[in-house]
Structure 1
Amino acid sequence: MRSHTTTLLALVAPAWAGLRFPCSTLTIQRLDPVVQPGSNPSGHVHHIVGGNAFNASMSGDVGERASCTTCQMSEDFSNYWTAHLYFKHPTNGSYHRVEPKPVMPALGGSNGAKGGLTVYYTQFDLSKDNVKTQHVKTFPPGFRMTVGNPQATSKQHLGLSYSCMSGNSRGRIISTMPETPCSAGIFTTHHFPPCWDGKNLDSPDHQSHMYNTVNSEGFTNASPCPASHPVRVPQVAFETVWDTTPFNSMWPAGTPNPFVWSYEGSSYGTHADYMFGWKGDSLQRAMDKSECFYDGCGSIKKQPMATANQCKVKDMVGETTTGWLKALPGRI
């Protein structure tokens, strides 16, 4: 297995990198203001990080409404969320929530984050020539998008992947859940498309206003944006480590993977949501820096993760999502 830190260092271009920072868990509940705005509860449980403006229904300038964020970058009040992972007991069919844990230390580490995930805003998808000709424009207030589809039963685009963690290393990138127990957890990645139509803050399917040029599972160069979606935006990506180790002893040898997403469909259906909420022009200032090695890019204020960990939102649904459950929340 290769070191996650080594892999990241090998991928960082000398002059064009981006932001990488931890975000602690904000809340875990059945809300989805992008796909099911106003619905309380939404269809399945989500793991949510970011600003405390998060609610069942969100619109407009999220960054102006939030007063705190679980992210290390103190001017980032965006919200990031994925379906939550559960363990389905192979014998009695009950479910138990799997907790996220900070991504293993790399390039600064998790710095005391609690749960959560690691967020990237990168320019790795820019080819060498494209760097010189296409400006990276950040998202406007109100922007949102999704990647992946919980109904998918076959491989989606290459930016959605799994890996098996062992110590501080992760194994080969695969498109479905690992087939054997992982000694240090299951690592998931969600890469969002980097090309925008330049007009729509959203679209009916939450994806058509974007165009995907990602051509591999990792942070690599990709082709220029097409005329239909000409605006190059930072590529957003999430990385999450799910602490599956407490359940490995309950996974009988030779049986199928017992871990399921909160929608309990195919593992090909992994998906994620993004709602932009950076304060003012803070993200644009960072993306305009020509040399930025996964830090604050010299223009963004960081906050201690001890401060970020204090940011929370109330339970707006009022249901039990952890402990041993007879059925997944919303699936009774």
Structure 2
Amino acid sequence: MTISRRVLLGVLAVSSACFHGADAYWRMSCSIIQTGRLDPNISPGEVSAHVHKVSGASNFGLSNTYENLIASQCTSCEVQDDKSIYWTPQLYYQHTNGNLEEVPNGGTVVYYLGRGENRSNIEPFPPGFRMMSGDPYLRSNDTTYFTYSAGGNSGGRLVSDRVSFACLDSSGTIPQQNYMFRTDCNNGLRAQIQFPSCWNGQDYQLDQSHVAYMSGIDNGVCPPSHPRQLAHLFFEVIYGVNDINKESGGQFVFANGDPTGFGFHGDFMNGWDTEVLTDALDQCVNNDSSNGQISKCPPLAKSQTPYYATNCPERKPIVNEQVKGMLECLPGCNVVTPGPERAIQLVCPDTPSVNTVDYGGPYTMFNPSTGQKLDGSTFAFAGCAADGGSSRTLSGHSTAADDMTIEYCTSVCKSQGYPFAGLEYSRECYCGSSLGDAATVDCSTTSQMICAGNATEWCGAPNLLAIWNDTSYSQSVTTLVVDTTTINNGSATYMGCFSDPGGNNRALSNDSMFDTTAMTNEKCVSYCEGKGYSLAGTEYSQECYCGNVNTGTLIADSSQCDMKCKGDSRGFCGGSLKLSVWSLTQVSPSQSQSTTATSWQNTLYVPTRNLVAISGSGYTYLGCYTEGVNGRALGKGASAIITSYSTIHSTSTVEKCASYCVGKGYAYMGVEYGQECYCNNDGPFNGATKVAESDCSMTCKGDITEWCGGISRISIYKASNA
């Protein structure tokens, strides 16, 4: 299990041990929006005393108003109508040499619970409402302060019980404590904080006197001084304590210098859309049948998105100081103090500089209707279409970029001669001549990912393409005439469409290369000319073969070479086991060149015979598999295109993929399309099935003596220790 997955699973876990009584609540997952010394509740407008991990509204800063929170472009929580902010201290690991290492943390899970004997009268948080729970200076159990006691079944409880820790360990359930009693937890250490749920109606007070805990903290009655009932807030934060290289004498310590956990704390500032929160409290917070699911609460479900982490990623630091990675000391001059006495806050002689927060907004998403044209473009929105499985919906040309936009993708597809452009996974672009059997649907209410290069545009989703159609498209296909059509300044003449036996008995049996996005006849001819061959041939729209002897049979019907070139839909690059062959006007290669060009066929690694194990990697070969029916065969892991699509002399090999996957700690790895590398820990799934070895017939771009899968076929290997 990888670090990120372990932490995420812990974050999504339900802490049922903390819940007593009714199960009425909703649970909301949040990723990180900011990390740094910021605390607008305790130190508004200033650099705060210690580092916090913050989730929620993108406008979070040194100080916030309700107005600039709700004007945020997005929130890192899954309900987009909640622009509140939630924060807790960062956890570090102190090594024996004194250095401190950031402990992995994927975010916060926030619970809104219908609790208290007055839960039928829960009020929504007013605009700008804020509060804190916990005491960052505690270092031992505080047995002095109790909650309100009304006698009978509503007796007081130690206020220090607001904090609890759960060690998530596969060895079994371990009773929770209000301090870090155990930090060897293979599924993470979960820190938990309960908030006050009773309010006196006053504005925010720095000493938190405007709020009070219920008599049982997570249930019970409110004191007469604070009669107004609020929703009960509860945070869970998972720290990957077993993802750290621990050593004898080392210890975990929070950013406020607390190695005990008694000083754990949390903060909240309300940024809810008031109408949405009111409706959710009325319909859902006391609905015992919802089981915490946002999808079962209509006011929340309408703005729920599973892509909150992608659509609202962590912002650049506001405070200019290092708080991540390995540190020499705790930021803010915090000293590790084990107690049992209360800690004392030291004041640093220097304060780091800060960056200005742009409280711009409100932001408007571009939500085109079907048929609406892109400004200044001939492309019109056509809706969404399903993608994935064994073949791409748009299979003509593809590219990916971290600055992807609708304009970027449509311009690429237009330049390649394709009428359809589709955006997917935030940063991927696909082009094609038609949608095939795929049907477009209205996706105006479908969750999508923002474009990586423009946060106000949608760029599809996993296995979902946002489709744009060039309304001005008029294809002019180049007609190839035998012995007449020439390309590359007349250096290559078209010979016709020839049959190709495939496998190891190619009609052109010397060098070859593949380009799944930019293959053209011109590119293939240039490649073979550079190798010194007299013949070049394109096949399957993306494959190029070279040779001096053509053993294929001329096909009278040239229309059988009917596959459009991946790099130019106006040309044809062979067909299924059909070669578009070109004669090159140059001298024949030397004997040594021929020997070099053909000798690889005698040493090709047929995986079932020669490449059983990859030297030094621990991987052994499982076989050739189809891609999954509902996703990639090796999904839920990591992937890498280990060569540039546009580079002829590329470097991808089976060994390089193995090294990449070993470095990420994955149990399975696979190669595909001659250049793509995938890894995961689950092995082939999503309906992937084993097929004949001949299906994995693409040689690796970095070494033609190895097979690297095929078209929608992946050569899969398994680690010997998995």
**TM tier, smaller:** 0.7 to 0.9
Question: Structure 2: 5+ residue runs without aligned partners?
Answer: 1-12, 143-158, 334-347, 349-722
**Which residue of 164, 169, 172 corresponds with 2:167?**
164
Aligned partner of residue 309 in structure 1, secondary structure: helix
Matched, 1:327 2:329: yes
Aligned residue identity for 2:116: L
| Identity over aligned pairs, percent | 32
Rounded Cα–Cα distance in structure 2 between residues aligned with 1:323 and 1:6: 29
Give the Å deviation of 1:58: 1.1
Give the Å deviation of 1:214: 5.3
Rounded Cα–Cα distance in structure 1 between residues aligned with 2:182 and 2:233: 28
Instruction: Report the more deviating stretch, 20-29 or 295-304.
Output: 295-304
Given that 1:44 and 1:330 are in contact with CA atoms closer than 8 Å, whether structure 2 keeps it comes out as yes
Aligned residue identity for 1:35: I
Given that 1:52 and 1:67 are in contact with CA atoms closer than 8 Å, whether structure 2 keeps it comes out as yes
Aligned partner of residue 281 in structure 1, secondary structure: helix
CA-to-aligned-CA distance 1:222-275 (integer Å, 9 cap, x gap): 32212210110001111011001122x5232xx5x7100001134211111100
Give the Å deviation of 1:203: 0.4
Correspondence for 2:49: 43
Given that 2:167 and 2:182 are in contact with CA atoms closer than 8 Å, whether structure 1 keeps it comes out as no
Q: Under a length normalisation based on structure 2, what TM-score does the superposition of the two structures give? A: 0.39
Aligned residue identity for 1:298: P
**Which residue of 237, 247, 269 corresponds with 1:251?**
247
Give the Å deviation of 1:43: 1.3
Correspondence for 2:116: 126
Instruction: Report the more deviating stretch, 72-81 or 172-181.
Output: 172-181
Rounded Cα–Cα distance in structure 2 between residues aligned with 1:38 and 1:143: 17
Give the Å deviation of 1:20: 0.5
The aligned runs of 1:93-112 (5 Å cut-off) are 93-100=98-105
Correspondence for 2:255: 262
Aligned residue identity for 2:291: F
Correspondence for 1:61: 67
Correspondence for 1:71: 77
**Which residue of 176, 179, 203 corresponds with 1:176?**
179
Rounded Cα–Cα distance in structure 1 between residues aligned with 2:80 and 2:257: 35
Give the Å deviation of 1:318: 1.8
By relative contact order (CA 8 Å, sep 6+), the higher-ranking structure is: 1
Rounded Cα–Cα distance in structure 1 between residues aligned with 2:253 and 2:18: 32
Given that 1:19 and 1:121 are in contact with CA atoms closer than 8 Å, whether structure 2 keeps it comes out as yes
The aligned runs of 1:214-233 (5 Å cut-off) are 215=216, 222-233=219-230
Q: Please, what is the CA RMSD of the aligned residues? A: 2.3
Aligned residue identity for 1:259: F
The aligned runs of 1:28-39 (5 Å cut-off) are 28-39=35-46
Correspondence for 2:201: 198
Matched, 1:293 2:308: no
- Rg: which structure is higher? 2
Rounded Cα–Cα distance in structure 1 between residues aligned with 2:88 and 2:131: 12
Matched, 1:20 2:27: yes
Give the Å deviation of 1:18: 1.8
Aligned residue identity for 1:121: Y
Rounded Cα–Cα distance in structure 2 between residues aligned with 1:177 and 1:186: 9
Give the Å deviation of 1:176: 0.9
Question: Structure 1: 5+ residue runs without aligned partners?
Answer: 101-114
Aligned partner of residue 223 in structure 1, secondary structure: coil
Q: When the two structures are aligned, how many residues end up with a matched partner?
A: 296
Correspondence for 1:109: none
Relative to 1, partners in 2 of residues 1:168 and 1:8: Cα closer, same or farther, differing over 3 Å? farther
Q: Under a length normalisation based on structure 1, what TM-score does the superposition of the two structures give? A: 0.82
Aligned partner of residue 236 in structure 2, secondary structure: strand
Instruction: Report the more deviating stretch, 237-246 or 152-161.
Output: 152-161
Correspondence for 1:271: 265
Rounded Cα–Cα distance in structure 1 between residues aligned with 2:166 and 2:112: 21
Correspondence for 2:487: none
Aligned partner of residue 288 in structure 1, secondary structure: helix
Rounded Cα–Cα distance in structure 2 between residues aligned with 1:151 and 1:182: 25
CA-to-aligned-CA distance 1:144-178 (integer Å, 9 cap, x gap): 00011111133252121111111497521101113
**Which residue of 230, 234, 238 corresponds with 1:237?**
234
Relative to 1, partners in 2 of residues 1:246 and 1:151: Cα closer, same or farther, differing over 3 Å? same
Give the Å deviation of 1:11: 5.1
Rounded Cα–Cα distance in structure 2 between residues aligned with 1:188 and 1:168: 19
